[in-house]
Amino acid sequence: MKVDVILGLQWGDEGKGKIVDVFTPRYDIIARFQGGPNAGHTIIFGGRKFVLHTIPSGIFHRQTLNVIGNGVIIDPFILFREIDTLREAGMAPEENLLVSRRAHLIMPSHRLLDAALESDKGSSKIGSTLKGIGPAYTDKYGRNGLRVGDITGDSFKLRYDQLKSEHLEIVRHLGFDYTSHLLDGLDFESYEAKWFASIDRLKGLKIIDSEIFLNTSLDEGKRVLAEGAQGTMLDVDFGSYPFVTSSNTITAGVCSGLGLSPHRIGKIYGIFKAYCTRVGSGPFPTELNDADGEKLRVGGNEFGSTTGRPRRCGWLDLPALKYSIMLNGVDSLIMMKADVLDPFPEIEICTDYKKNNEIISGFPYDLCDEQIQPVYNNRKGWNSSLEGCTSINEIPAALADYIDFIEREVGLAIDTVSIGPDRLQTLQR
């Protein structure tokens, strides 16, 4: 068997959590391959809403195993807060959750470092979620990191203390007063105490060699789905650098983040919103700083699932979408949040970028170049509610036209259209 992949094609928050949850009944195993608690994946069903940060979005289906892969970075405090929220809702997430021994740990001092580095950047800050992502991946690649498999070792505390004192030295050097900085409402010492209590609880989870487990499961005919976090435009190599996250969010990340050969990659689903959003700093060619942008934000409830920050909103960006499709080798497209465009009599789609009045061919190296301007194609909106549509045959002609136009432009079929946040508001074409 091969591993199917679902990942985001824009700047994150495309609706990956919802679709992974909808697709889970088709799979035996769901596996996260990168990122960490910077992710916020929302799942809504039966009138209840859950936001997952570290746990894969298949957790609500008891018969499906959920793997936190080696490419993920884990803050045990945040992981157990999630587990406890699910337990309070009557679930038993420990039963179907497996954690890779090779996944790296985010330490409390990684979070301090994240805050100190961001504050030092001043107006050029990335707009990080401040979950310690950059510093934890830096230690991983700098070969200093602590891994889940280390927590039972004798030298764990010693290595923790060494690394922490190095982090604090940098924090102090940057002139950052960490004594008054709160981590999720807690001072550093309180957070650290809870972090260590969570490390103890982590020892009780099912810790595995996930690369062996996943390869063996595929050999045995099990169906596996890899769940991406963030989006292609936040990929550390191909996103709008430096305004990116610190992992490979693209299909290639599945291989290194789960220990699977490229031969093992099966169907690749790419998710995009019918428009665009971005949270944090960085270039966004189709951003709307006007009433239409506000209409998208309010209509789409575009506020960060992890930080609550208002998301920046704009029209669909086809040059970026095509670039993402190429990088990921997408086989099938999933378009989200079509309903948010309901109240628009007219919709713009960016078909090209131009600079000095000339169309740019290919995708620009530096999206931060302020000379880059979007070229728009104007489409008629459907200007009516999609609520109540239960099959793709019931959608308004203008939405069918919008879908056809995108398919022609990108050369790929949109097989799934989402028209609301609930599991049930999903149309197959």
**Footprint on residues 18-77 left by Mg ion (CB under 5 A):** 40
Residue 337: contacted member of ligand GDP, ligand IMO, Mg ion, none (CB under 5 to 8 Å, by partner type): ligand GDP
Contact residue for ligand GDP among 104, 131, 194, 337 (CB under 6 A): 337
Position 13 contacts Mg ion (CB under 5 A):
yes
Number of shown-chain residues binding ligand GDP (CB under 6 A):
23
* Active-site residue (options: 4, 21, 41, 104): 41
Residues 117-156, mask of contacts with ligand IMO (x by CB under 6 A): ---------xxxx-x-xx----------------------
Position 313 contacts ligand IMO (CB under 6 A):
no
Position 235 contacts Mg ion (CB under 5 A):
no
Position 421 contacts Mg ion (CB under 5 A):
no
**Footprint on residues 279-318 left by ligand GDP (CB under 6 A):** 300-301, 305
Provide, rounded to whole angstroms, the least separation between the CB of residue 157 and ligand IMO.
Answer: 27
Distance CA 280, CA 304 (A): 10
Provide, rounded to whole angstroms, the least separation between the CB of residue 251 and ligand GDP.
Answer: 16
Q: Which is nearer to ligand GDP, 171 or 389 (CB)?
A: 389
Q: Is 173 a catalytic residue?
A: no
Contact residue for ligand GDP among 76, 132, 319, 420 (CB under 6 A): 420
Q: Is 150 a catalytic residue?
A: no
Number of shown-chain residues binding Mg ion (CB under 5 A):
3
Q: Which is nearer to ligand IMO, 231 or 285 (CB)?
A: 231
- Strand pairing class (332-336; 265-273): parallel
Starting from the edge strand earliest in sequence, which strands make up the sheet with 65-68, in order?
Answer: 206-208, 97-100, 65-68, 29-32, 224-227, 3-8, 265-273, 332-336, 414-418, 426-428
Interface residues with ligand IMO (CB under 6 A)?
A: 8, 11-13, 38-41, 126-129, 131, 133-134, 229-231, 234, 245, 279-280, 305
Active site residues: 13, 41
Which spans of this chain sit near Mg ion (rule: CB under 5 A)? 13, 40, 305
